[in-house]
Chain A
Amino acid sequence: MKTVDICIIGSGAGGSPIAYTLAKAGFSVVVLEKGPSYDESDFKKDEIAVGRRSLYTPELKDEYHIIETYNDEGDIVRENGKEVGWSFWNGSMVGGSSNLMSGYFHRMKPNDFKLRTVFGDIEGANVVDWPIDYETLEPYYAKVESLVGVSGKMVDHPYREPRSTPDYPFSPTWEHPIASWFDESCKALGFYAMPTPRAVLPYDALNRRGCSYSNLCGSYGCATGAKGNAKAALLDAAVQTGNCSIISEAFVYKIESASKNSVSHISYYDIKKQSHHVKATIYILAAQAIESSRLLLNSKSDFFPNGLANNSGLVGKNLIFSAGGSGEGRINFEDISKQRQENLLLRGAFVNRSLQDWYEYDIKGVSYKGGTIDFLFEHANAVPRALAEVYDDNGDLVWGKVLASKLHHAFEKSRVFTFEVFNDWLPTDKCYVSVDGDDVDKWGEDVATIHLYGHPQDLIVGQHLADKAVAVLTDLGAKDISVGISDSPPPNLVAGGCRFGNDPKTSVLDANCCAHEVHNLYVSDASFMPTGGSVPYTWTIYANAFRVADAILQRLRSQNV
């Protein structure tokens, strides 16, 4: 049995800061990753493999989820993900889904850490304050800026968060001319346009190459290492210490408990389904929220008959996603100047603009927690753009001359400008992960059932933000504007399931993300989050994992294990 100081399950944004910190400090670390390992030279801009065949995620026939939703009558609808083609997988590879992110990095705001105190209880929602405040996490947000690499430019806006440094360590990436058009529109509308911080290096730095502006960033692996993915930013450096090894294609199927309060070892399958074991002083679980809860629930023992660290019955509960949705409008050549026509189709450059004017807002005396709107161009993948043209306004299929004309217009004489809304997915009793024992994956392990429910307020807030975004698109002259705000969960923006808190009766983890019931088990992915903020999660996951790493380091150095 392999024996190390630290065993980390999952190699993404939740696990990599701990591997980096502990390996640098001289402790032996092993990272177990279910997916394969890719080098930057493996990452090609191959739309068929990546965009159309989901190269980086498990095949649903092998690994899937059971998904329960509510229909319009309030009845539960139970579906098998492999039968209906509903995937909750993200990047299954060393570095995890951080490989495939777009890298829109926003910090949570101080009030995000105390939503219940600021906004009070919301009927039907389990909103609680975090056991830590913004000031506790701020140094780690700053650490991520410099270590993972965040580019941007601070500007004044109503919800600018306090910072320990005046500005981002890296200047913004190459911006598309539409950013200045956007700024003009926002000025006219009285909105505070802000450059979007990006986990993308604009130039060579941190022993990585700068962005090549390939035009295909989100959903694709980064061929230069400019994107602040866990492997390029942290794991490669961890391995270089000689103290960290990464075992890829290692599926951890059980965390074994040694007593009523400790883990003895973990068990994993290699690609040939041969079983292996790792013993460690401290275990870190960071398999992404749904799978982390699943693994705990599947790790039953005499000491934990309901699953590891689950004598409270709280593991899997209060699953959250990012609420909101997206919208788009088409900017047509015929509606803009010759100069703008020449600039509109410029490829590679980033839009890099966000609005946070309504991070909090009042309507008729009621205060709402609002959110963030990020603006971007439609994804450059060509096949979905072409397929968007095959129906006419009546919903009838078109082909031949009509389709050819629509395609030329879509690709050569217009461009779709889009926005994404991020607001809180309120935690509720009806949104959670369970293991029912009825279905198994290719490993023979029970799969997770995802119970989905979106609180009605999520839609109200999302629509309020979308209305503001539509105002910008309208001012920009966009046509055919459409908005899709729904309670459909984005699988890549998932958190919760193992809340942290000070009370073992209401939380799975303590304030340092150590399991209340298991002294040598930490959960460091987004599972810990009781509420998610109104921003994409990745920066907060990185920052919190660095904070947890420091807590572990302190424990190990004081030999308090």
Chain B
Amino acid sequence: MSMMKRRDFLQISSVAVGATIFGYAASQYASTANVSSTTFKNIALVHADLFDVKAGFPSVSELNSVGYLKGVLQDPKIPIDKKELIINGAVWLDETAQETYSKEYLQLASDERQKLLKEISMLRWGDNWIWTLMSFQFEAMFADPIYGSNLNQSGWKWLAYEPGFPRPNEVAI
């Protein structure tokens, strides 16, 4: 199956995925990073592969970037097509891993994962998906900790970023 056809198929299937993922309410923006599903396990690992702690990035758990992304998926201000892309991309990633290595993304070695990310980043959907994930990782990194991410201001401290004052005392969205 070509990449294009696979994308078409998954856009249709994502409607069902979306209904289950987008349907619950949260008491705060970022939720706890429950990564029981393969989709979110993939995303959590991609987060770690993109913002590698060995390169100095705060860890996925310090940023709570996966919990933040779950907040994004429930955020009515985020367009539905962007939410679908986040989920679909994780599924397409696994399919590409199967095609290339006959293994799921989670089973790949670190250098294989990096090669695969590089490969998909050269494709339109892959570039779009990785950019979207990173945009929300950066939101998790720079959001006020009141959002439930950037725990202990780990993101701010990493880049010596000083927030503006007054800081928010509640999530306004």
Contacts and interface: CB of A to CB of B under 8 A. Distances in A.
Interface of A: 43-49, 52-55, 59, 85, 212, 214-216, 220, 223, 347, 380, 382-383, 386-387, 390, 396-397, 399-401, 403-404, 407-408, 411-412
B101 to A, nearest CB: 20
A387 B55 contact: no
B92 interface: no
A400 B52 contact: yes
B104 to A, nearest CB: 21
A403 B55 contact: yes
Interface string B101-139: 000000000000010010001100001001100110011
B76 to A, nearest CB: 8
A408 B56 CA distance: 10
B77 interface: yes
B57 interface: yes
B45 interface: no
B144 A59 contact: no
Contact of A216 (B117, B144, B164): B164
Contact of B173 (A55, A408, A411): A55
A387 B138 contact: yes
Contact of B169 (A44, A54, A347, A408): A44
A211 B121 CA distance: 45
Contacts, number: 105
B77 A382 contact: no
Interface stretch (B17-25, B34-42, B155-163): B155-163
A130 B141 CA distance: 51
Interface centre among B75, B147, B161, B169 (most CB of A within 10 A): B161
B49 interface: yes
A396 B121 contact: yes
16 contacts: A43-B166, A45-B164, A48-B144, A49-B173, A53-B173, A55-B173, A382-B138, A382-B141, A383-B135, A386-B142, A387-B131, A397-B127, A397-B131, A403-B51, A404-B56, A412-B159
B144 A386 contact: no
A215 B144 contact: no
Nearest to A407: B159
A59 B77 contact: yes
B135 A387 contact: yes
Contacts of A401: 52, 54-55
Contacts of A85: 79
A400 B134 CA distance: 11
A416 to B, nearest CB: 15
Nearest to B76: A59
A46 B167 CA distance: 6
A403 B147 CA distance: 24
B143 interface: yes
B139 A48 contact: yes
Nearest to A214: B164
B165 interface: yes
Contact of B168 (A46, A212, A383): A46
A383 B142 contact: yes
A46 B138 CA distance: 14
Contact of A220 (B139, B164, B169): B164
Contacts of B135: 383, 387
B164 A404 contact: no
B32 to A, nearest CB: 19
A455 to B, nearest CB: 34
A47 B141 contact: no
Given A45-B166, A347-B162, 14 more contacts: A43-B166, A44-B168, A45-B164, A45-B168, A46-B167, A53-B77, A55-B173, A215-B162, A220-B164, A223-B166, A382-B138, A386-B141, A387-B135, A407-B159
A241 B147 CA distance: 40
B50 A399 contact: yes
Contacts of A411: 159-161
B16 interface: no
Nearest to B135: A387
B172 interface: yes
B98 to A, nearest CB: 22
Contacts of B166: 43-45, 214, 223
Nearest to B155: A382
A334 B135 CA distance: 29
Contact of A382 (B55, B142, B167, B172): B142
Contacts of A59: 77
A212 B131 contact: no
A53 B144 contact: no
B44 to A, nearest CB: 15
